[in-house]
Amino acid sequence: MSEHSLLEAEGKLSELVDRVLAGEDVVITRDGRPVAELRPLSGPAEAPKPRMSPEESIAWLRANRVPTRAKTDAGELLRQLRDEWDR
């Protein structure tokens, strides 16, 4: 566990957050008294997933396509709805 004054923490917050994500406990002090503790919200940080290429994205979309339910075009659907409304 490391302790850092508020002034020191302001100057190197990014570094302190990296240390916390690496598993170190960090305490912030004011006038020599502990006032805050930095800790990760979850477990160790995961590496970001690499982005898919456009080709991979298209392949994924094709593989996960949801079939359409409508067997009619939009005009026919509107006619059917209008006719049902008029009944």
Contact indicator for 3, 29 with CB cutoff of 8 Å: yes
Query: Which phi and psi (to 5°) does residue 77 adopt?
Result: -60, -45
Residue 31 is given by DSSP the state T
In whole angstroms, what is the distance from residue 65 CA to residue 62 CA?
Answer: 5
User: Residues 18-53: pLDDT tens digits?
Assistant: 998 888 889 999 999 999 999 887 655 566 678 889
- Domains in the chain (CATH in brackets) are 2-38 (3.40.1620.10)
Q: Is the pTM of this model over 0.85?
A: no
**What is the per-residue pLDDT for 69?**
73
Number of neighbouring beta carbons within 10 Å of residue 29:
16
**What is the per-residue pLDDT for 5?**
93
**Lowest mean per-residue pLDDT among 34-38, 56-60, 72-76:** 72-76
